[in-house]
């Protein structure tokens, strides 16, 4: 220190701390000259002493003017050292950097000016301090003082020039600092950061693309900045990087895909659009690198398909189609279970378009990777069943397509029908709203006869009798009205002459016994009119209630539809179809005379021609107790309508109704349940009337 005082005159040191700038400036020029002389003589020891004096006695001084003078002095010393300044930078730069955080804005300004002058002299040699300088500039870019900001910008431009021409700059050491600063929200700092990213990316020898995953999230974060200028700068930088990705043979898609997936769910529309656009390009370019990330990418795409912004919807749909068109092998890190999990989760989306695309994915996976999907069936089956209650018909139809695909295996077919009946049982509204749609679609996809046989088998042993009755009535109505079941109806019409038809009739009969009206309808469809008469005459008071009459009203109106055209034509031969005529008259007798159904059926029966009646035959058929004759026949097979006077003899139906006691037994169970409920209600009413004792 003593050497420094001996080298620099006291007057110079005094002027260096003067409050007047001109005196400080003149003192700095004298220090520059002194250092230059010392450098020319090679006396670096004294130079170090001078620098130390300036740092300790001036830049560390509590007096602001001293600190200002110290900064000017350090810059002047560097200028005096010229080409030999590099060996003293370890002494010169740290005090200047410390002054960047000085409380006095003028001191911070002079620090910027000093470092600017130092950098002009040493150029690339001060790269070793780059991270510290960058950190200081980052803070100064948001300085409260406009003059300091202006000085920092000038210094920043110079540092950028030096870095771009330097071969000593280490991008690897810089990236951690950049990554840390990318989360800053200050708009001035953000502009500063984007500026540096753009500059470094323009340097051919610096591979910024390789480090893009480290600061990509920060750039996306800037897309939602309140400043339009910052948004534009971030978007411009991202566009440039995306162009580089398209032209680069080696890109780390995986790490960036994770960031893009998160940003695709951002609240800001522009951020979502940019993220989904990047994902779109990644799907086209990434290939097998993206296999492990397909599930996450799908999780980002599906919600965007229903985005309120049309541009986002368009890109999301395009990306979704591109992703689904790629056929991957599960052995290639293609996570079938993960994709199924995402699709299942998106089935709960409030948006119909998203739910539809989720179902398309499940269907695609079933087609391509059936074995793998079935391994995860327990994870998705309940959700698929719940989707049958969806408000969208298109969703329900797609769910049914998937169920049908799963149900190609007998085990899964049985499981599907059982679960379907269970869902109808616990949610009657589902049966009312979607029952017909679901059953009809399954009949198309899985064969109507197979579906109806399975349903009948399940309902035959149904413990909830009320539900069984309602379900059978629904199935019966679908059977009688749906175009998809026309072949099934044709088969049932041949029940008396065809073994397959008879077998189907017997299969349905077992569960149709839950509903008298369903049995009557089935008998009319199968042309087993004699048994229809027996069922009608077996009805007791408990059977003929409001619900029964509603069902009867529906049947009468169905008799006027094309489905029962054959039956109406048979009325042209009443002598040959005596039991049909008697069954219809039996139904007429059950209807209230003032009802519209009564009038419809009566008008129809009035059109029956009387010329073909054989009085004796009709009288004989109508006499006695047909109910007794049919239900309690001794076991011989009964001849049905249409078999009279045929040349080839009586054609036997092959259906032994005497041994089919299901109807009587089933109806007895329903009667007992009704009586039990009536007794419970009466008991409750009595208790309420008696009141507390």
Residue 647 CB contacts under 8 Å (≥ 6 apart), including other chains: none
* pLDDT number for residue 681: 65
Q: Which stretch of DSSP H or E encloses residue 280? A: helix 269-286
DSSP, res 638? P
498-522: b (≥16 Cβ within 10 Å) or e: beebbebbbbbbbbbbbbbbbbbbb
The pLDDT value given to residue 457: 94
Interval 371-413: pLDDT, tens: 888 888 888 888 988 888 888 999 999 999 999 998 888 888 9
Comparison of pLDDT for 665 and 134, the residue scoring more: 134
Question: pLDDT band at residue 217, thresholds of 50, 70 and 90?
Answer: very high
Residue 323 · residue 305 · CB < 8 Å: no
Q: Which of 467, 641, 476 is nearest to 563 (CA)?
A: 476
Q: Which of 334-338, 479-483, 602-606 has the lowest mean pLDDT?
A: 334-338
- What is the Cα–Cα distance from 99 to 113, expressed in whole angstroms? 11
Per-residue pLDDT reduced to its tens digit, 492-523: 999 988 899 999 999 999 899 999 999 999 99
Q: CA-based angle 336:339:340, to the nearest 5? A: 85
Comparing CA positions, the residue from 155, 66, 56, 53 lying closest to residue 107 is: 66
639 DSSP 8-state letter: P
CB 488 within 8 A of CB 452: yes
632 Cβ neighbours under 8 A, 6+ residues apart: 658
Q: How large is the average pLDDT for residues 97-105?
A: 94
The helices-and-strands tally (H runs, E runs) of the chain is 37, 0
What's the pLDDT score for residue 673? Answer: 79
Instruction: Inform me whether the pLDDT recorded for 685 exceeds 70.
Output: no
pTM: 0.77
- For range 635-662, the mean pLDDT: 49
Taking the alpha carbons of 377, 383, 389, 394 in that order, is the dihedral positive or negative? negative
Q: Are 436 and 478 in contact (CB under 8 A)?
A: yes
Q: Shortest CA distance to 493 belongs to which of 519, 521, 527?
A: 527
Dihedral sign, Cα of residue 238, residue 241, residue 246, residue 249 = negative
Percent of the chain with pLDDT over 90: 60
pLDDT at 121 over 90: yes
> In the 8-state DSSP scheme, what is residue 58?
I
Using DSSP's 3-state secondary structure scheme, residue 175 falls into helix
Arithmetic mean of pLDDT over the chain: 87
Of the candidate ranges 225-234, 308-317, 555-564, 651-660, the one whose mean pLDDT is the lowest: 651-660
Asked whether 464 and 425 are in contact (CB, 8 A), the reply is yes
Q: Which residue has the higher pLDDT, 261 or 633?
A: 261
Q: Which of 349-353, 384-388, 638-642 has the lowest mean pLDDT?
A: 638-642
Q: In angstroms, how far is CA 537 from the centroid of its own chain?
A: 57
Q: How far apart are CA 296 and CA 275, in angstroms?
A: 13
Q: How large a percentage of the chain has pLDDT more than 70?
A: 90
Does the pLDDT of residue 654 top 80, yes or no? no
Write out the two tokens for 59. 């830049």
Rounded Cα–Cα distance for residues 175 and 644 (Å)? 99
Name the phi and psi angles at 430, rounded to 5: -65, -40
Among 68-72, 139-143, 286-290, 611-615, the minimum mean pLDDT is found in 611-615
Q: Report whether pLDDT(659) > 70.
A: no
Give which of 83, 150, 91 is closest to 120, Cα–Cα: 83
Mean pLDDT, range 281-310, rounded to an integer = 90
Task: Please give the residue that has the higher pLDDT: either 2 or 217.
Answer: 217
Tens digit of each residue's pLDDT (9 = 90 or more) over 133-150:
999 999 999 999 999 999
Please give the Cα distance from 236 to 202 (Å, whole number).
Answer: 13
pLDDT at position 302, please?
96
Please, are residues 323 and 315 in contact by the beta-carbon 8 Å criterion? no
pLDDT in tens, 436-445: 999 999 999 9
Which long-range CB contacts under 8 A does 110-114 form with residues at least 24 apart? 110/67, 110/68, 110/71, 110/72, 111/71, 112/140, 112/148, 112/151, 112/152, 112/154, 112/155, 113/71, 113/72, 113/75, 113/151, 114/71, 114/72, 114/74, 114/75
Pick from 524, 508, 607: which is nearest to 563 by CA? 524
pLDDT at residue 377, as a whole number? 86
Residue 616 predicted with pLDDT over 60: no
User: Average pLDDT, stretch 472-476?
Assistant: 95
The pLDDT value given to residue 634: 32
Quickly count: other Cβ atoms within 10 Å of residue 636's Cβ: 9
Residue 56 vs residue 619, higher pLDDT: 56
- C-alpha 610 chain-centroid distance: 67
Could you count the other beta carbons within 10 Å of the beta carbon of residue 552? Answer: 22
pLDDT surpasses 80 at 468: yes
- Predicted confidence at residue 232, as pLDDT, reads 95
Place of tokens 């139904």: 587
């Amino acid at each position: 220190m003593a050497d420094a005082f001996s080298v620099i005159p006291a007057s110079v040191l005094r002027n260096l701390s003067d409050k007047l700038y001109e005196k400080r400036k003149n003192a700095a020029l004298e220090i520059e000259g002194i250092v230059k002389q010392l450098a020319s003589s090679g006396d670096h020891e004294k130079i170090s002493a001078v620098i130390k004096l300036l740092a300790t006695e001036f830049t560390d001084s509590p007096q602001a003017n001293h600190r200002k003078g110290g900064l000017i002095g350090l810059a002047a010393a560097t200028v005096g050292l010229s080409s030999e300044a590099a060996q003293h930078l370890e002494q010169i730069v740290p005090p200047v950097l410390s002054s960047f955080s000085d409380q006095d804005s003028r001191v911070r300004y002079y620090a910027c000016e000093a470092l600017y002058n130092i950098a002009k002299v040493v150029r690339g040699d001060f790269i070793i301090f780059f991270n510290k300088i960058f950190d200081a500039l980052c803070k100064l870019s948001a300085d409260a003082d406009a003059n300091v900001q202006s000085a920092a910008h000038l210094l920043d431009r110079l540092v950028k020039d030096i870095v771009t021409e330097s071969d000593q700059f280490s991008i690897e050491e810089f990236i951690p600092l950049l990554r840390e600063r990318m989360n800053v929200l200050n708009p001035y700092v953000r502009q500063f950061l984007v500026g540096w990213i753009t500059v470094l990316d323009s340097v051919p020898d610096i591979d910024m693309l390789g480090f893009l995953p480290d600061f990509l999230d920060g750039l996306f974060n800037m897309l939602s900045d309140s400043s339009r200028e910052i948004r534009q700068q971030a978007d411009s930088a991202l566009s440039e990087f995306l162009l580089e990705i398209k032209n680069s043979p080696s890109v780390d898609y995986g790490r960036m895909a994770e960031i893009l997936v998160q940003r695709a769910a951002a609240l800001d529309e522009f951020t979502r659009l940019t993220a989904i656009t990047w994902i779109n390009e990644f799907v086209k370019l990434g290939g097998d690198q993206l296999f492990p990330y397909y599930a996450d990418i799908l999780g980002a795409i599906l919600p965007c398909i229903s985005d309120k912004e049309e541009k986002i919807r368009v890109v999301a749909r395009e990306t979704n189609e591109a992703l689904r068109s790629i056929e991957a092998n599960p052995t290639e890190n293609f996570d079938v279970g993960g994709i199924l999990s995402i699709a299942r989760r998106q089935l709960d989306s409030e948006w119909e378009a998203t739910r539809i695309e989720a179902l398309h994915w499940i269907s695609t996976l079933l087609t391509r990777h059936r074995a793998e999907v079935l391994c995860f069936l327990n994870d998705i089956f309940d959700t698929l069943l719940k989707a049958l209650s969806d408000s969208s018909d298109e969703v329900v139809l797609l769910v049914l397509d998937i169920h049908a695909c799963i149900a190609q295996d007998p085990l899964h077919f049985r499981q599907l029908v059982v679960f379907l009946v269970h869902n109808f049982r616990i949610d009657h509204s589902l049966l009312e709203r979607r029952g017909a749609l679901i059953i009809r679609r399954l009949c198309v996809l899985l064969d109507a006869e197979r579906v109806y046989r399975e349903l009948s088998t399940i309902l035959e042993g149904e413990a909830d009798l009320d539900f069984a009755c309602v379900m059978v009535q629904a199935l019966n109505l679908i059977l009688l009205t749906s175009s998809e079941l026309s072949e099934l109806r044709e088969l049932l019409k041949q029940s008396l002459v065809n073994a397959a038809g008879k077998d189907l009739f017997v299969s349905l009969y077992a569960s149709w016994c839950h509903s008298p009206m369903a049995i009557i309808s089935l008998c009319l469809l199968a042309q087993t009119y004699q048994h229809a008469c027996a069922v009608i005459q077996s009805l007791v008071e408990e059977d003929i209630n409001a619900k029964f009459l509603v069902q009867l009203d529906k049947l009468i109106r169905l008799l006027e539809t094309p489905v029962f055209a054959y039956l109406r034509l048979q009325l042209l031969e009443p002598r040959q179809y005596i039991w049909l005529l008697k069954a219809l008259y039996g139904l007429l007798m059950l209807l209230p005379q003032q009802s519209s159904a009564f009038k419809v059926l009566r008008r129809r029966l009035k059109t029956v021609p009387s010329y073909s009646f054989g009085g004796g035959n009709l009288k004989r058929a109508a006499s006695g107790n047909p109910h007794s004759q049919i239900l309690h026949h001794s076991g011989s097979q009964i001849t049905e309508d249409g078999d009279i006077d045929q040349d080839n003899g009586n054609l036997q139906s092959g259906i032994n109704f005497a041994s089919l006691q299901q109807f009587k037994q089933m109806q007895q169970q329903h009667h007992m349940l009704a009586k039990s409920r009536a007794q419970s209600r009466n008991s409750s009413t009595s208790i309420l009337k008696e009141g507390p004792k």
